[in-house]
Structure formats: C-alpha cells, structure tokens
C-alpha cells in the first residue's frame, strides 16, 4: 500500500452495492479436510458408551483437540507452509465445510504472514497478548473477490501481539470477524488492497499503537481498547471505552463516542499454563475503559480443560447434554454438529466455548441451544446455522417469563453468530431470543442470507432476527440483517444497544410483501409500544431493494415517544437509490432521496 494513502472517505456510490450481486463467487468446492501434523494431543475425544448396567458411562473431561486445531510453537518446522495450505483451501470457501483454529504457543515467531480465509481463527495461547509475538502479519484481504471485502465473513484473530512487516497490518473484514485481545505494534488498515468496499466490523480489548485507517469501511465498532489515532469515517463509527478514540462529533464526522462501556466481560479464551490447557474467564467490568490486560495478568478465574467435555462434530446432542448434566462445560472443536434435539444449558456458570467457528445445525426444526434462567452462563465462539425444517427459534437465553436478577453475574453471548440460508436451505421464525435479565450480548451477526444456496423471499423465510424480552439487557456490537419482518424487536425494559448495523431484506418482491398494517415496511429496530426506558447509541439501517427498487420503507427505527426512550446518532441510507426511507425514526428525519448514497441522520431522539 502507499505510505500515505489519501482515498476519499466517501467513495463513489457505485461501490456501495454490497453483496446482492456477488453470489456467483459464494459457493466454493468443499475440499478434503486438512488434518494431522501439528494438532494438539492429549487423551482421545470420548463419546458416550454403554456402562456396566447398560446406561451411559460417565464422560471424561479433557482430551484431544482434534485434527482441525493446529498448534504451533516457535520450533515448529515450515509454519508458513502450513498456514498457506489452510488459506488456499479456505480463501474462497464461503459456504464450505472446513473449520480451523490456528493456535500459537507463547514465544516469538518471525517472518510469518498468516492469511486468514473463511472459518479460520488464529489465537495466541498466553494469558496476555504480549506472551505470543508474531514479527509479521495476520492478514485479511479481498483478492479472491476482486478487491471487494464485503463478503469477508467468519474469521477471527485473538490474543496475539503483531509487529507488522510494513508497519501496518491489514484487516479488511466485514461481519462476524472479531479482532479481540490483540496488540498491534504499528498501525491497522481496515480496507482491502485498492480500497474497495468493506462492511465490518468489530475490535475489542485491543491495543493498536499506531493509527487505525478505516478508509472505505462503511461502519465499525470498537470497545474497551486503545488506539494511537483514527483516520476517517464513512457512515457510522462507534467507540465505547476506547483510549485515543475521536471525540464525539456525530453527525459530521459520524463519530459516536462513549467514554466508557456500561458493563463488559471479555470473552473466555483457551491458554496454556505450562503444558496444561486451561480456559480463562475474565471478570465483569463496569464503566470499562481501555484493555483488560494492560497491567499484566488479566483479572478473572480459570478452569482446567479436565472440566470440559471436548466435543467433536461426530458427537450427538444426547452426548452434549449428558456432558452438561454431568457437570462438565463444553469445548466445541472445529466442525459441523448436527443436532436432533435441543442442547440444554441448565447449570449456573456453564461455559460453552467454540473453536474455529464450530457450527450447530438443528436438523428437524428444534431449537439448537437453550439456556435456563441461571447466573453466569458464557456462550462464545460458535455459529448456529438454521436447518431445512423451520425452527421456531434457534438460540434462547432464558425461558419465556424469566425474571431472576443476574446483575451480579450475567449471562454473556459473545461472537455467537446465526445464519439462515446461504450454505443450503434454512428457515427459522426467530433467530435469537433473550429472555434472561441483565444478559450481555457482545458482538453478534444474525444474518438471513442474501446470497448463496437456499436463498429467496420465502425459501429462507425468517421473520425476526433478535427478540429481547428480558429487562436490563445490554448489547454491544449488534449486526442484524435481511429479515422478513422486524430485524430487532425489543420488548424488555431498560435495554441498551451500543452500535447497530442493519440492512433490510434485499429480496422483497413488492410493497405489499413488507407492508406492516398501515406502515410501509417493518422497522429494522422496533422498541415495544409499552416500553418506558430504552437507550441506543450509533445505530444505522440501510435499504437495497434490488428486486423492486420502487419499494418505500417508512422508517428504519420505531419506538414509543417517551422521555425515557432515547437514541443518539441514528442514520438511514438508500444504497444507490434501490428503495427509499421516508423518515429515520418514527415520523422524524429527512427522507433519503435519489440515487445518491447519502445518509439521512438524526443526532438525538427525542
């Protein structure tokens, strides 16, 4: 890249068209799974077997991490070759079956460029990012897609220190691609080579010593981090608890900046204590600002791997439930898990941690996973993919009517992503339902597919994306797209959202298909009529009705007109004039107009 790039912060409208025309490259051939050399090993993964009395034998904790968890140490031969081999398979395998976790033991590595393709996670195995240093890069670019990064989904980097070769690391991603607990000893470029469009993204608990350059990134959320500078904004850049963040300036430039994050608790992570694998559980922070690991060892507790059932994709839902009932946590190793019944998390403090985008698919219309109304459950790092038979819900946090107070020890849902269609037929009436009070959802992308296989207005029907019924729920980093009705419906009291990114469904056939009684279209974000307190910061909704560009959406946001229901930094935008909004929120805000992709903004509401 040039040493002093100066692209326009607002590229030409023709580049904004996002993903609707991009489906041809979506499905790549499924290649044979890479396996074997370099994988972590201990005892073999166990499955339930018959005991002496014919009942299931107790399941062991711990075990082998499986062939698709590749563990490196500084003495490993030909690390670059192994990285390149996995990248070659995964680079364009957007809806393939490969799943990989690349883990680096503490130490120093030099001369590496870890290019990350789909369903690939890279992470250090130290307690601090600085325990594992790569003198080199962890790169995401968009060469596979002609320089357009708007489909660079489902990949992650965690818990590493990077010393980029050029001084700047490239991380050109879009949704479901978290950058967590990273220390970049240099700058970070969030755009692809050539500065084509990207539609990310999310940074948390990270330190970037140099400047972050979003360039063509349409929107971004950064939480509890430290940056040396921030170069520009296109539509919607949101910061909470970020040292060095730009000052609040929405609407121009469109920076929404909160000094602190109200409540946060970092994602659990796997690390090595000597030769023993453990899972670290960071403690809850209130009014958080800056990284959690800045003064050495992070604060929290840890669990030995022996307290986890190390699951593989051949394990049944019955086996996963048995492990949970026996008091084990779940570590989901990379792969695709088919579920013929719901996995039930009923014990307080249970951890369900996925590696390498482990994917849960309900095969027969069941809910993939349900959490009881208990304290301190942690769900992290996996993908739920709807099955061909309609599920009423895909993931439920708390049962209907849940009312227990979890303020001291909330349930957290982090880097848990949901997909309906794209990889094949899928249907679900509602994707994610949050009933438990005080739940923290920290970075999710809930996506009704607009390209790939099994896609169409009724083919991958999904009416609601996220429904929040519980009180006192906080969501930091909410990405929800393309649902047939409300993308987000929030019925609980005292809900808060910091950053929201949305696109209305591209594929509505006509105005009648989206009509909501007397209202033109369902809002992207709907606060229930009876709610008295709610607050949101940095929320954007976009329309791209490419099947029928004449469709009109009345507003992106709908909420009761009460003093306790407040929004800061709202925008709607029509992508290239394919459909229009009449208002931003309720009946307030200027309409979008013409083919100019220029947002209409509301600074405060009411």
Q: Which residues contact 74 (CB under 8 A, 6 or more apart)?
A: 105, 107, 108, 109
Q: What is the dihedral of CA 482, 214, 114, 35, to 10 degrees?
A: -10
Burial of 111 (0-12, 13-18, 19+ CB in 10 A): exposed
**Is 396 in the active site?**
no
Structure tokens at 38: 């370099």
Q: Which of 503, 533, 535, 582 is catalytic?
A: 503
Q: How far apart are CA 411 and CA 373, in angstroms?
A: 9
By the 8 A CB rule, do 173 and 151 touch? no
Strands 580-581, 552-553: parallel, antiparallel or unpaired by DSSP? parallel
In the block, which residue shows the tokens 């140490």?
73
Structure tokens at 475: 């969501």
Q: How far apart are CA 533 and CA 560, in angstroms?
A: 10
Burial of 522 (0-12, 13-18, 19+ CB in 10 A): buried
By the 8 A CB rule, do 450 and 460 touch? no
Q: How far apart are CA 573 and CA 593, in angstroms?
A: 9
Q: Which residues contact 52 (CB under 8 A, 6 or more apart)?
A: none
Structure tokens at 30: 């499924």
Sign for the pseudo-dihedral over CA of 121, 126, 130, 132? negative
Burial of 21 (0-12, 13-18, 19+ CB in 10 A): exposed
In the block, which residue shows the tokens 């296109």?
234
Q: Which residues contact 439 (CB under 8 A, 6 or more apart)?
A: 397, 398, 406, 410, 411, 412, 413, 470, 473, 474
Instruction: Give the bridge partners for 380, in sequence order.
Output: 353, 414
Q: How far apart are CA 486 and CA 373, in angstroms?
A: 25
Q: 331: closest CA among 30, 19, 42?
A: 42
By the 8 A CB rule, do 73 and 272 touch? no
H-helix segments, 53-142: 79-90
Direct distance between the N- and C-terminal alpha carbons of the chain, in angstroms, rounded to an integer: 44
The radius of gyration of the chain's CA atoms, rounded to the nearest angstrom, is 22
Q: How far apart are CA 54 and CA 83, in angstroms?
A: 45
Q: What is the dihedral of CA 548, 549, 555, 558, to 10 degrees?
A: 30
Please give the positions annotated as active site. 503
């Amino acid at each position: 890249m040039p040493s002093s790039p100066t692209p326009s912060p607002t590229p030409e409208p023709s580049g904004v068209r996002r993903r609707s025309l991009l489906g041809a490259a979506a499905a790549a051939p499924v290649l044979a799974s890479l396996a074997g050399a370099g994988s972590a090993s201990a005892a073999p993964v166990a499955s339930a077997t018959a005991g002496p009395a014919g009942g299931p034998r107790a399941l062991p904790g711990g075990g082998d991490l499986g062939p698709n968890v590749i563990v490196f140490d500084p003495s490993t031969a030909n690390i670059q070759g192994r990285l390149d081999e996995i990248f070659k398979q995964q680079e364009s395998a957007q809806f393939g079956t490969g799943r990989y976790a690349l883990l680096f033991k503490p130490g120093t590595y030099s001369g590496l460029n870890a290019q990350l393709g789909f369903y690939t996670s890279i992470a250090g195995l130290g307690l601090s990012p600085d325990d594992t240093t790569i003198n080199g890069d962890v790169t995401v670019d968009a060469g596979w897609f002609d320089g357009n990064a708007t489909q660079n989904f489902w990949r992650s980097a965690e818990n590493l220190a990077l010393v980029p070769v050029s001084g700047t690391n490239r991380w050109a991603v879009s949704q479901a691609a978290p950058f967590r607990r990273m220390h970049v000893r240099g700058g970070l470029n969030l755009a692809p080579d050539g500065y084509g469009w990207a539609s990310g993204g999310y940074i948390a608990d990270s330190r970037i010593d140099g400047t972050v350059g979003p360039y063509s990134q349409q929107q971004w959320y950064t939480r509890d981090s430290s940056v040396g500078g921030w170069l520009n904004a296109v539509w919607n850049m949101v910061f909470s608890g970020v040292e060095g963040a730009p000052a609040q300036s929405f609407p121009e430039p469109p920076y929404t900046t909160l000094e602190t994050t109200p409540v946060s608790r970092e994602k659990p992570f796997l690390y090595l204590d000597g030769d023993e694998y453990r899972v670290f559980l960071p403690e809850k922070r209130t009014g958080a600002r800056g990284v959690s690991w800045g003064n050495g060892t992070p604060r929290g507790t840890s669990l030995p791997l022996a307290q986890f059932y190390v699951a593989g994709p051949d394990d049944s839902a019955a086996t996963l439930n048995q492990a949970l009932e026996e008091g084990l946590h779940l570590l989901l190793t990379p792969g695709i898990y088919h579920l013929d019944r719901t996995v039930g998390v009923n014990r307080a403090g249970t951890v369900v941690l996925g590696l390498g985008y482990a994917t849960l698919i309900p095969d027969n219309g069941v809910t993939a996973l349900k959490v009881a109304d208990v304290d301190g459950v942690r769900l992290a790092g996996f993908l739920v993919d709807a099955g061909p038979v309609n599920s009423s819900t895909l993931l439920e946090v708390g049962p209907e009517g849940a009312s227990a107070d979890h303020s001291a020890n909330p349930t957290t849902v982090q880097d848990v992503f949901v997909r309906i269609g794209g990889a094949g037929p899928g249907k679900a009436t509602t994707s994610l339902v949050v009933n438990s009070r005080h739940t923290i959802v920290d970075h999710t992308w809930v996506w009704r597919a607009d390209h790939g296989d099994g896609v169409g207005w009724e083919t991958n029907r999904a009416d609601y994306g996220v429904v929040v019924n519980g009180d006192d729920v906080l969501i930091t980093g909410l990405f929800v797209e393309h649902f047939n009705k409300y993308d987000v419906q929030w019925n609980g009291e005292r809900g808060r959202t910091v950053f929201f990114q949305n696109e209305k469904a591209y594929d509505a056939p006509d105005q009648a298909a989206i009509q909501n009684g007397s209202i033109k279209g369902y809002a992207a974000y709907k606060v229930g009529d009876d709610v008295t307190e709610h607050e949101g910061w940095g929320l954007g909704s976009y329309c791209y009705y490419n099947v029928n560009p004449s469709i009109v959406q009345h507003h992106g946001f709908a909420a009761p007109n009460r003093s306790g229901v407040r929004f800061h930094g709202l925008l709607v935008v029509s992508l290239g004039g394919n459909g229009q909004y009449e208002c931003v929120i309720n009946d307030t805000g200027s309409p979008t107009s013409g083919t100019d992709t220029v947002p209409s903004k509301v600074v405060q509401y009411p």
